[in-house]
Amino acid sequence: MAITSRDFRSLRLDRIGRDFGQTHALRDVTLTVERGEFIALLGPSGCGKSTALNCIAGLLQLTDGTIWLDDRRIDAIAPEDRGFGMVFQNYALFPHMTVRRNIGFGLVTQRRPTAEITRRVDEALALVRLTEHADKLPGQLSGGQQQRVAIARAVVVGPPLVLMDEPLSNLDAKLRLEMRAEVRRIHAMLGCSTIYVTHDQEEALSLADRILVLIDGQTRQIGTPEELYARPATPEVAEFMGYRNLFRSRAETADGGVVIVVAGARLTGTPVQTVGAQAVVAIRPEDLRPTGDGPIVATVELAEYHGRDFYAEGRSADGTDLFFRSPVRVRPGEQVHLDAAPARVLVYPEAGK
């Protein structure tokens, strides 16, 4: 494969920050991205993800910190001299140019010889599987195909790093799944590093080697998808990672775990950090299941059929709302007995929230 990224070992963000007036959009973010790594920047709307990506690209200046490509400091260098590939949510294609000319644009501005441009554009077209569509205009392509043109245009110049800002959010659910696999395949074939901004935890879990969770402009956790899914560092990260059941509880240390009280029932949980007398408990809906003799008694309020199982909401006698999944049909008004495995009941110190 002739499209290869320039050699580099790592990109290092060293305590980077960016203010907009009184707003601290990004604060004290430190991250080392190794060559070949796929990093997701994950966080809710307004948490600073795009600000971080634009600072790395050079479209925004830093207010604090430094950025390094190996031992070269690059945060004062113009975006075009950093040479990173950018893919945006809205594709940003030139509507009056064919697919071929859109993809070759960066090479033309670099004044590459015509034969080289033709060869590299052909390779990029093949990479994103659009060879047959080379002479069409963007308006004649589907959303997924247009996004593949945008990806080809970003990678054709052989960037060491590709930056993607919510590239799949304009696509419908089915196409998003297909393009997710495409993004991962293209990343693997190029051997470049990718930083991918998303607010979708499933997208981050499925694509990334490591995920950085950004909340209020600050790093809340960096870890592998498995670590983030199974062991969110704080209740706030847990909530963002789909732990919908979050409760305050008193806690007692016991053999093999911590005993907490959820909706009036005693449950054994696993402490994520040292827990005192007051705790926050986090359980995913898929880990809270109806069983014949589960300790938490709740009345079903809502049940939706989701194909493989039912998603349901219930309320206990003390008024606690519970979100759970059931492999068998449950109906509103029905009483259920819920339980969760101790390993899947995460217990945090209350101050950790």
Contact footprint for ligand ATP (CB under 6 A): 20, 23, 25, 43, 45-51, 199
Q: Find residue 164's DSSP bridge partners.
A: 87, 196
Question: Minimum Å distance from CB 50 to ligand ATP?
Answer: 3
**Nearer to ligand ATP among residue 141 and residue 228 (C-beta):** 228
How far apart are alpha carbons 17 and 62 in whole angstroms? 6
Question: Minimum Å distance from CB 208 to ligand ATP?
Answer: 16
Q: Are 192 and 10 in contact (CB under 8 A)?
A: no
**Nearer to ligand ATP among residue 88 and residue 311 (C-beta):** 88
How far apart are alpha carbons 41 and 65 in whole angstroms? 18
Selection from 224, 221, 249, 217 nearest residue 236 by Cα: 221
Question: Minimum Å distance from CB 254 to ligand ATP?
Answer: 41
**How many angstroms separate the Cα of 86 from the Cα of each of 21, 24, 200?**
26, 24, 19
**Nearer to ligand ATP among residue 180 and residue 284 (C-beta):** 180
**Nearer to ligand ATP among residue 45 and residue 274 (C-beta):** 45
**Nearer to ligand ATP among residue 43 and residue 290 (C-beta):** 43
| Pairing between β-strand 193-198 and β-strand 161-165 as defined by DSSP bridges | parallel
Q: How open is the CA angle 88-9-29, to the nearest 5 degrees? A: 55
Question: Minimum Å distance from CB 207 to ligand ATP?
Answer: 17
Neighbours of 324 (CB within 10 A): 30
Amino acid of residue 27: R
DSSP class of 77: S
Question: Minimum Å distance from CB 246 to ligand ATP?
Answer: 22
Question: Minimum Å distance from CB 84 to ligand ATP?
Answer: 17
**Nearer to ligand ATP among residue 29 and residue 251 (C-beta):** 29
